[in-house]
Amino acid sequence: MANVTILGGGTWGIALAQLLDKNGHNVKVWSALEKEIKVLSETHTHPGLPGVVLSEKITYTLDDKEAVTGADLLVMAVASAFTRRTAKRLSPYVVKGQKIVAVAKGIEEDTLMTQADIVSDEIPQAEVAVLSGPSHAEEVSKFMPTTVVVGSENKETAKYIQNLFMCDVFRVYTSSDVLGIELGSSLKNVIALAAGISDGLGYGDNAKAAIITRGIAEMSRLGTAMGGKAETFAGLTGIGDLIVTCDSMHSRNRRAGILIGQGKTMKEAVDEVQQVVEGIYSAKAALALARKYQIQMPIVEQVNEVLFEDKKALDAFNDLMNRERKDEV
């Protein structure tokens, strides 16, 4: 039994809290938002997880020091846009060698750093790992079968986290390819926006399959150029996460894309989804990385033009379909 603190009271953090409680660990949830902690502690429910009743053994706190002190594992589960701010805030209380696993997905726009990079930058004394894969919070919180990957350069750290999370409904693999895991889990959100836009335009399965297939090609090209392993992009945090994010209505990125394809602006789509749409935050970073490493990523380029340059979704798809003729591989 371990003492685990979930940093962040969003749906993913709460789903993992529920899972870790099921596994017999002492689970505490920290949030910077007083209203969020109040709702969780008083109702034992989360508004984003309808039908899920949270274990009464899970405790909640607003206190930074209390959240970190004595935790065997800290789970960094705030939305990716808030990872740096949270890490900086909690860093003074983290002791040397304390384990942190980053579970958000996204690339920081200004620095082009991944979540693990950001946590390591702000909390250099910590042992940082990542956990990712095709894992909607709505299903994990209901203990539906899910498989993920935990990545760390330290194999013992990866195994430790694997043992904490793994159970009969949550299978965990280990990997040393931290960069590949994080790039796959971040870039797939941008591709999922394109898949949603296709759905919003009324296109069918053929178009969706093309986006997924050519999307994984773009992700793999960039990821391997940056030093990730090709097999990672063929695994759970590549193809696996891309499929589930492009094809499920649990996916906030796909839902936002559908609304944009139907003619709504980016802001209107985000307001209607009422959740953080990680792909929007990662889109500019993905394009910047493509240009830095001189990698062709036409889907990512078109998504950026639709999001930030007011390009019509239909025009973006027409431009993709009418690119120059070339070999597939």
Residues known to be catalytic: 188
DSSP state string for 269-305: HHHHHTS--HHHHHHHHHHHHHHHTT---HHHHHHHH
Strand partners of residue 146:
170
* Spatial separation of the C-alpha atoms in residues 71 and 91, rounded to whole Å: 13
Q: Going by C-beta distance under 8 Å and a sequence separation of 6 or more, which residues neighbour residue 132?
A: 103, 105, 148, 149, 151, 181, 182, 184, 185, 236, 237, 241
Both tokens of residue 267? 């802001």
* Spatial separation of the C-alpha atoms in residues 86 and 33, rounded to whole Å: 12
Phi-psi region of 278 (alpha: psi -120 to 50; beta: other; left: phi over 0): alpha
* Spatial separation of the C-alpha atoms in residues 196 and 97, rounded to whole Å: 41
Cα 264 from chain centroid (whole Å):
24
> What DSSP element (H or E) covers 238?
none
* Spatial separation of the C-alpha atoms in residues 160 and 99, rounded to whole Å: 10
Indicate the SS3 state at residue 76: strand
> What DSSP element (H or E) covers 88?
helix 83-90
Both tokens of residue 72? 């065997």
Angle between the 178-200 and 313-321 helix axes, to the nearest 10 degrees?
Answer: 110
AA letter at 73:
L
* Spatial separation of the C-alpha atoms in residues 150 and 232, rounded to whole Å: 12
Indicate the SS3 state at residue 95: coil
